[in-house]
């Protein structure tokens, strides 16, 4: 870990209960230190029906947990939180602010699920516990987050409300650490744009339904437009369902209610469609929508879908850029994807390689970088340091999640990275622009993942 990240973690730790105790003790509600609950032993009296009892306390999760790596605090790890939640659920530990604190500290990256040999459904338990804490008043998201959670359930109003932000992105003023410059359409939406391109190009290949997302559509609409162009160029028929709603990820990240209603709206919008696949261009949104449509229909990441098609390759003669690829947590740990297909990355036309620690969390965590900014920046410091000496003119950091893009952009805005670099969604690097022609196959081919 870099010295910058260590100092940030230390500053964050000094403001938290965990530093009041030694490595073998944790704080109690009175402010004194008591024997640590997360001592590495399995919970006493665990039963087969106890959802927390599958944890064998092997410790594999510790090496991949960003908050444990920052603090070295056993309670600030997945197995520590599971022990705290399990003991509280069993009545052996009273409710106290320390359990609330360690719950709020979790980024929700799900790296522990990938590392866990016992296949503990940590993400499900974490989401449920966080929601219970919010309902009980043990945790309270900020007023702006509560307002945003209400707004995303009304896509048209949310898009209109963020029109000024789209204007600011187009003209780059005033600058914000989370907002890279871009060229989002100001008024035309993705659904209308997709219908326009479908009429113009008339692709004949696989039929897909595209999730446009709430923040993606309202703020990063140019990524949706690029997605439509790339798919149609590869002879994919793109439909944007009417009535689709926010995927529910925002509510899950904050612990607020309303997820079930959003899931019901999306089931009504997507399930009746006669399509070969439902696609998302944001790994976090795809993960959340996948839970809504399961088990009736899987949701696929657009890059994985394109990898099976073999996308049109961009030609970049004399290109000196270097693309460093970071893998979003909710792609590899949430959706359990192996990564971004090499065929897709090669089709960008850039020399590419995985960024160092590409499978580690960047600290975004949905809204974690707003709720726990010191932790989020400390996590990002370790991830982003390589950009200061990376080769390439220009250096491009590519990923597959717009919220991760915002976090990576903040590395430059806050001084963690002191040289110029670009942050792009991989789909943007495949974008043919407006003047493209459809690649039509010599013979029909089955849609990726479609039943034969």
* pLDDT tens digits for range 318-336: 999 999 999 999 999 999 9
Q: Are 77 and 102 in a shared domain?
A: yes
| Spatial distance between the Cα atoms of 140 and 129, rounded to a whole number of angstroms | 13
Of 287, 284, 428, the residue nearest 366 (C-alpha): 284
Please, where are the H alpha helices in 122-258? 122-135, 143-151, 155-161, 163-171, 190-201, 215-219, 221-233, 249-254
Q: In what order do the strands lie in the sheet with 277-280?
A: 237-239, 207-211, 277-280, 299-301
pLDDT reported for residue 447: 65
Q: Bigger pLDDT: 53 or 116?
A: 116
Q: Which of 245, 275, 309 is the last residue of a domain?
A: 309
pLDDT at residue 206 above 50? yes
| Spatial distance between the Cα atoms of 223 and 229, rounded to a whole number of angstroms | 10
* Residue span of the structural domain in which 166 resides: 158-309
| Spatial distance between the Cα atoms of 386 and 381, rounded to a whole number of angstroms | 9
Beta pairing partners, 26: 34
- The answer to whether residue 352 is domain-embedded is yes
Quickly state the pLDDT bin for 443 (edges 50, 70, 90): low
Q: Are 172 and 280 in a shared domain?
A: yes
Q: Are 412 and 383 in a shared domain?
A: yes
Q: Are 300 and 327 in a shared domain?
A: no
pLDDT tens sequence across 166-183: 998 888 776 788 888 889
pLDDT reported for residue 52: 78
Q: Are 163 and 285 in a shared domain?
A: yes
- The answer to whether residue 316 is domain-embedded is no
pLDDT reported for residue 5: 39
Q: Are 107 and 169 in a shared domain?
A: no
Q: Which of 287, 309, 331 is the last residue of a domain?
A: 309
| Spatial distance between the Cα atoms of 352 and 375, rounded to a whole number of angstroms | 29
Of 416, 424, 419, 415, the residue nearest 384 (C-alpha): 416
- The answer to whether residue 252 is domain-embedded is yes
Q: Are 296 and 326 in a shared domain?
A: no
Q: Are 285 and 181 in a shared domain?
A: yes
Quickly state the pLDDT bin for 349 (edges 50, 70, 90): very high
Q: Are 180 and 92 in a shared domain?
A: no
CB neighbours of 258 closer than 8 A, spacing ≥ 6?
A: 149, 153, 248, 251
pLDDT at residue 275 above 60? yes
Of 99, 85, 119, 112, the residue nearest 34 (C-alpha): 99
The model carries a pTM of 0.86
| Spatial distance between the Cα atoms of 169 and 381, rounded to a whole number of angstroms | 25
| Spatial distance between the Cα atoms of 209 and 222, rounded to a whole number of angstroms | 18
Quickly state the pLDDT bin for 150 (edges 50, 70, 90): confident
Altogether, the residues listed in the chain come to a count of: 452
- The answer to whether residue 153 is domain-embedded is no
- The answer to whether residue 143 is domain-embedded is no
> Could you give the dihedral angle defined by the CA atoms of residues 422, 428, 430 and 432, in that order, rounded to the nearest 10 degrees?
-120
Q: Which of 100, 135, 170 is the last residue of a domain?
A: 135
pLDDT reported for residue 445: 59
pLDDT at residue 136 above 80? yes
- The answer to whether residue 145 is domain-embedded is no
- Kindly list the distances between the CA atom of residue 341 and the CA atoms of 305, 307, 434, in Å, as whole numbers in the listed order: 9, 5, 25
Distance of CA 168 to the CA centre of its chain: 24
CB neighbours of 351 closer than 8 A, spacing ≥ 6?
A: 319, 321, 322, 323, 392
Q: Are 357 and 258 in a shared domain?
A: no
Of 277, 265, 270, the residue nearest 302 (C-alpha): 277
Of 139, 136, 128, 135, the residue nearest 105 (C-alpha): 139
| Spatial distance between the Cα atoms of 365 and 289, rounded to a whole number of angstroms | 17
- The answer to whether residue 149 is domain-embedded is no
pLDDT tens sequence across 385-439: 999 999 999 999 999 999 999 999 999 999 999 999 999 999 999 999 999 999 9
Of 254, 259, 256, 299, the residue nearest 276 (C-alpha): 299
pLDDT reported for residue 34: 34
- Kindly list the distances between the CA atom of residue 130 and the CA atoms of 88, 106, 151, 268, 318, in Å, as whole numbers in the listed order: 14, 10, 21, 27, 51
Q: DSSP letters of 335-347?
A: S----S-HHHHHH
User: How many independent structural domains does the chain possess?
Assistant: 3
Q: Are 378 and 304 in a shared domain?
A: no
Rounded to 5°, angle at Cα 234 from 431 and 345: 55
How many other C-beta atoms are found inside a 10 Å radius of the C-beta of residue 47? 8
| Spatial distance between the Cα atoms of 212 and 244, rounded to a whole number of angstroms | 8
| Spatial distance between the Cα atoms of 311 and 389, rounded to a whole number of angstroms | 31
What are all long-range contacts of 271-275, with beta carbons under 8 Å and residues at least 24 apart? 271/296, 271/297, 273/209, 273/239, 273/241, 274/207, 275/207, 275/208, 275/209, 275/239
Number of H helices, E strands in the chain: 22, 10
Beta pairing partners, 209: 239, 278
pLDDT reported for residue 179: 85
Q: Are 16 and 123 in a shared domain?
A: yes
Tell me what percent of the residues of the chain surpass a pLDDT of 90. 74
Quickly state the pLDDT bin for 153 (edges 50, 70, 90): confident
| Spatial distance between the Cα atoms of 235 and 306, rounded to a whole number of angstroms | 11
- The answer to whether residue 56 is domain-embedded is yes
Among the ranges 27-31, 170-174, 248-252, 312-316, which has the highest mean pLDDT value? 312-316
């Amino acid at each position: 870990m870099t010295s910058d990240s260590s100092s940030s973690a230390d500053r964050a730790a000094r403001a938290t209960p965990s530093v009041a105790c030694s490595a073998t003790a944790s704080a109690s509600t009175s402010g004194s230190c008591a024997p640590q609950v997360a001592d590495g032993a399995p919970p006493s009296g665990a039963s087969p029906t106890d959802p927390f009892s599958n944890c064998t306390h092997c410790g594999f999760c510790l090496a991949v947990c960003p908050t444990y790596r920052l603090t070295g605090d056993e309670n600030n790890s997945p197995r520590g939180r599971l022990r705290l939640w399990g003991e509280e659920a069993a009545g052996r530990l009273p409710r106290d602010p320390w359990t609330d604190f360690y719950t709020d500290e979790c980024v929700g990256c799900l790296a522990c699920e990938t590392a866990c040999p016992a296949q503990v459904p940590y993400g499900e338990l974490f989401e449920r516990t966080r929601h219970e804490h919010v309902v009980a008043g043990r945790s309270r998201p900020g007023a702006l987050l509560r307002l945003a959670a209400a707004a995303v359930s009304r896509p048209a109003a949310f898009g209109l409300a963020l029109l000024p932000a789209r204007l600011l992105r187009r003209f780059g003023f005033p600058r914000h650490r989370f907002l890279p410059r871009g060229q989002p359409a100001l008024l035309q939406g993705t659904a209308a744009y997709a219908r326009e391109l479908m009429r113009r190009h008339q692709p004949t290949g696989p039929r897909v339904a595209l999730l446009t997302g709430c923040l993606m559509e309202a703020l990063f609409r140019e990524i949706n437009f690029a997605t439509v162009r790339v798919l149609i160029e590869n002879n994919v028929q793109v439909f944007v369902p009417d009535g689709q709603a926010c995927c529910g990820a925002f509510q899950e990240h904050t612990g607020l209610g309303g997820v079930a209603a959003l899931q019901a709206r999306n089931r009504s919008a997507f399930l009746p469609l006669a399509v070969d696949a439902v696609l998302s261009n944001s790994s976090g949104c795809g993960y959340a929508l996948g839970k809504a449509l399961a088990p009736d229909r899987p949701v696929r990441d657009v890059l994985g879908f394109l990898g099976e098609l073999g996308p049109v390759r961009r030609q970049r003669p004399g290109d000196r850029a270097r693309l460093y690829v970071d893998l979003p947590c909710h792609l590899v740990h949430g959706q359990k994807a192996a990564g971004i297909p090499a065929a897709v990355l090669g089709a960008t036309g850039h020399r590419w390689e995985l960024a160092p620690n590409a499978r580690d969390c960047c600290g975004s965590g949905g809204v974690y970088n707003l709720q726990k900014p010191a932790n989020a920046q400390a996590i990002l410091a370790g991830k982003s340091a390589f950009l200061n000496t990376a080769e390439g003119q220009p250096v491009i950091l590519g990923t597959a999640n717009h919220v991760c893009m915002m976090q990576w952009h903040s590395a430059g805005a806050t001084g963690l990275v002191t040289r110029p670099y670009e942050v792009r969604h991989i789909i943007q690097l495949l974008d043919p622009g407006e003047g493209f022609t459809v690649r039509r196959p010599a013979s029909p081919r089955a849609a990726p993942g479609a039943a034969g």
